[in-house]
Amino acid sequence: MFDFRFPADMPKPQFYAELLQAADALTAGEPDGVANMANIASLLGEALADTNWCGFYRMVDGELVLGPFCGRPACIRIPLGTGVCGTAAQSGATQLVPDVHTFPGHIACDAETRSELVAPVTRDGEVIAVIDLDSPLPARFDTEDQAGIEALATLLASRI
């Protein structure tokens, strides 16, 4: 049984170091990528305060397709270059968006979302998925969150 708890007052660098250790423990040796994404989505949903959606979109036949997540029902398919997730997938660069309402082409799957962090997961130079985090708070995510989620994406690149 896994029971990962993170104190609310933990400094972000320490939080992300421990989150990475938990993700490693959950996915090490498991060859099923969907199972690994499901466990990580659950871990993120439990561990990250002030989020309303945590999960994955997978690259399938040149577009993003909904993967495991925690949150309200979501858009199923996202074309490359569309919205925050599609932009991250097309550019291969993390998107840190303090106010989604100012992001050109933002896709509002949940009207309560105000800020978003999307990190691409790449393997052999190709984007294979994105990790998507949404929050109802403006500017919920910062560069420390970005660094932590990018480290998670690197860990997962060979496990999903």
pLDDT digits (tens, 9 = 90+) for 99-145: 998 887 767 676 788 999 999 999 999 999 999 999 999 999 999 99
Q: Is the pLDDT of residue 3 over 90?
A: no
How far is it, in rounded angstroms, from Cα 77 to Cα 8?
A: 34
> What structural domains does the chain harbor?
12-156 (3.30.450.40)
Q: What is the pTM for the complete model shown?
A: 0.95
3-state secondary structure of 37: helix
Q: What is the pLDDT of residues 35-71, one digit of tens each?
A: 999 999 999 999 999 999 999 999 999 999 999 999 9
- What local confidence, expressed as pLDDT, does residue 2 receive? 64
